[in-house]
């Protein structure tokens, strides 16, 4: 039995009560880190590669779609917004306008986004109109703010273009990455405290090509990128398929959700009154007796609303959302996601131009701001090109950590001088990690993992699958040895226990 730091020094006692906390918890951390890395590692690797590709795309759309985004000649004055939108509607009579993005620069086009038959859910058909001539310069399928190239890579990163089923891969990666990262840090810090001091957390030692050097690179780079990985894990879960629902409920209960203006024209209909502010919700207070508007009716008052938005100091980029029923107001929302952020929003009565509700970004709850900033940083938006570079370096670092982790495992495969492992596979950490803990500690760990699994279902299901598979393998490995095979899997399991567990971390050989 070792002392848990890889020195091979005997301990005074083998009972949990007589060992330090680290010696008791280390086997569990090692086992979770090992199996999480081995089995979820491929999903995290795919997320890292697709995320790296995504960070390289923002500059491509403006180049490829310059014709749609820019005008040929800047005129003396722009046509009324209603004329520009009418040109888009005439070009695509099958579509229904869902938002309008006025140009933010003199040489930009007006973007009119529509829902239309044949357009995938979540996407829009966006028509680009010259604001000086009302000429339609083109139509593209967009996803929110993203043009086709960035939208394609965004979906590739989120779900590999497999729809809701594909979203499970990214959620599984985000669910495990924080645990694998923190477990690896704990073991790396413990190793460094025993061998070289904490000042050498980023040091790389060992002969080139040796397992020790691979191990050092794995630990050092993992430590450097740790904070970024934790941020990506948490923000990735916020819009995941299952854990995202739990996080959304928690944010709502803690008033961390992003507030939005009420679209209700009549506060007595159940919406918040004018100026309802931070807790008004989009679409709130719509009367059950509301009458749906036709395409043309919905556009009534557009020029009035646009004039009000300008007088109220709203700045681009902004989106104007038309009402869908006769008891709704227009909504005008700023969406400048780079620092300094702008996200003010107003609701405007299209008939009178009166502002019926307003929510300024400065009134948002602090945690709502932090959540949005963290998500925008995850998407490479918050700090512009610097954000993209940081994300690209983070993804490259994560890829190298994963690859080196598998390389470390492979370097433990039996050689001609060592045939202790049947099937030629490297040795895994020994079982019985929970037995190393005190009873109360084991209960706390199980309850904690169960709670996390409840709120992050894919984490809980995958962890349960690992445990069940491990138990079944343990039963199989303890079967009686056949006479034809003198060295059984049971012998190999025994060998696992006898070899110091810390050798997995110490990088020996």
Query: Which of 146, 174, 205 is the endpoint of a domain?
Result: 146
Same domain, 47 and 185: yes
Residue 403 buriedness (CB in 10 A; 0-12 / 13-18 / 19+)? middle
8 within some domain: no
Q: Using the 3D structure, point to which of 348, 363, 378 is the last residue of a domain.
A: 363
* pLDDT at site 418: 53
What was the pLDDT predicted at 131?
98
Verify that 91 and 178 share a domain, yes or no: no
Which parts of the chain have pLDDT scores under 50?
1-13, 269-286, 485-509
393 and 348 inside one domain? no
Tell me how far apart the alpha carbons of residues 195 and 96 are, in angstroms, rounded to a whole number: 66
Residue 155 lies in a domain: no
In a domain? residue 252 = no
**Strands 124-129 and 318-321, sheet pairing:** unpaired
- Written as six digits, the tokens of 125 are 């058909």
Claim to verify: residue 140 and residue 92 sit in the same structural domain: yes
- Which tokens hold the place of 501? 């567990």
Does residue 3 lie in a domain region? no
Residue 353 located in a structural domain: yes
| Position 380 in a domain | no
Residues 337 and 408 both lie in one domain: no
Q: What pLDDT does residue 234 have?
A: 95
Whether residue 154 is contained in a domain is answered as no
Q: If you compute the radius of gyration of the chain from its CA atoms, what whole number of angstroms results?
A: 29
Measured CA distances, 59 to 118, 149, 150, 341, 394 (Å) = 28, 10, 9, 20, 19
Whether residues 241 and 263 fall in one domain: no
Packing angle of the helix pair 385-411, 211-224 (nearest 10 deg): 150
Q: By residue range, what is the domain housing residue 105? A: 72-146
User: Are residues 172 and 305 part of one domain?
Assistant: no
Written as six digits, the tokens of 223 are: 């430590």
Specify whether 393 is located in the same domain as 487. yes
pLDDT at site 14: 55
Q: Choose one of 308, 328, 363: the last residue of a domain.
A: 363
Mark whether 238 and 263 lie in a shared domain.
no
If asked whether residues 114 and 46 sit together in one domain, one would say no
Whole-angstrom distance, CA of residue 26 vs CA of residue 429: 11
- The structural domain count of the chain equals 3
> 27 and 137: one domain?
no
Cα–Cα distances in Å, from 97 out to 2, 101, 142, 320, 492? 69, 11, 14, 10, 67
Both structure tokens of 489: 């899997």
Pair 398, 312: CB distance under 8 Å? no
CATH number for the domain spanning 278: value is 3.10.450
Do both 263 and 355 map to the same domain?
yes
Question: Within a domain: residue 381?
Answer: no
């Amino acid at each position: 039995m070792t002392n848990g730091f890889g020195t091979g020094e005997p301990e005074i006692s083998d009972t949990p009560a007589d060992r330090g906390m680290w010696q008791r918890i280390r086997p569990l951390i090692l086992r979770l880190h090992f199996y999480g890395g081995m089995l979820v590692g491929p999903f995290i690797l795919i997320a890292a590669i697709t995320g790296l590709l995504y960070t390289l795309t923002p500059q491509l759309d403006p180049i490829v779609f310059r014709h749609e985004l820019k005008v040929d000649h800047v005129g003396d004055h722009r046509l009324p917004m209603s004329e520009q939108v009418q040109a888009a509607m005439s070009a695509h009579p099958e579509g229904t306008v869902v938002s309008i993005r006025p140009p933010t620069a003199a040489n930009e086009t007006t973007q009119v986004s529509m829902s239309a038959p044949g357009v995938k859910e979540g996407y829009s058909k966006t028509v680009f109109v010259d604001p000086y001539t009302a000429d339609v310069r083109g139509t593209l399928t967009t996803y929110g703010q993203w043009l086709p190239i960035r939208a394609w890579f965004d979906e590739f990163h989120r779900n590999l273009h497999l729809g809701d089923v594909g979203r499970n891969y990214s959620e599984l990666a985000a669910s495990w990455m924080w645990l694998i990262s923190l477990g690896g840090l704990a073991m790396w810090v413990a190793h460094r405290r025993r061998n070289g001091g904490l000042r050498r957390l980023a040091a790389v030692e060992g002969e080139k090509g040796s397992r020790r050097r691979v191990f050092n690179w794995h630990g050092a780079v993992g430590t450097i990128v740790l904070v970024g990985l934790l941020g990506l894990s948490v923000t990735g879960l916020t819009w995941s398929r299952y854990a995202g629902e739990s996080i959304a409920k928690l944010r709502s209960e803690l008033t961390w959700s992003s507030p939005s203006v009420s679209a209700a024209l009549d506060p007595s209909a159940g919406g918040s009154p004018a100026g309802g502010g931070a807790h008004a919700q989009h679409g709130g207070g719509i009367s059950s007796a509301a009458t749906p508007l036709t395409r043309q009716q919905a556009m009534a008052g557009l020029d009035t609303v646009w004039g009000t938005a300008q007088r109220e100091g709203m700045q681009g980029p902004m989106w104007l959302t038309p009402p869908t029923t006769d008891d709704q107001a227009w909504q005008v929302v700023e969406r400048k996601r780079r620092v300094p952020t702008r996200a003010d929003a107003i609701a405007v009565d299209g008939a009178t131009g009166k502002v019926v509700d307003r929510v300024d970004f400065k009134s948002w709850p602090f945690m709502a701001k932090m959540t949005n900033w963290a998500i925008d940083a995850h998407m490479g938006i918050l700090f512009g090109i610097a954000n993209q570079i940081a994300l690209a370096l983070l993804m490259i670092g994560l890829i190298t950590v994963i690859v080196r982790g598998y390389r470390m495992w492979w370097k433990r495969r039996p050689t001609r001088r060592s045939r202790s492992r049947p099937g030629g596979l490297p040795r895994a950490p020994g079982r019985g990690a929970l037995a190393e803990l005190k009873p109360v500690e084991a209960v706390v760990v199980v309850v904690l993992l169960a709670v996390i699994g409840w709120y992050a279902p894919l984490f809980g299901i995958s962890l349960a699958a690992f445990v069940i598979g491990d138990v079944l393998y343990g039963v199989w490995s303890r079967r009686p040895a056949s006479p034809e095979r003198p060295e059984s899997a049971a012998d190999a399991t025994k060998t696992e226990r006898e070899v110091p567990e810390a050798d997995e971390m110490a990088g020996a050989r």
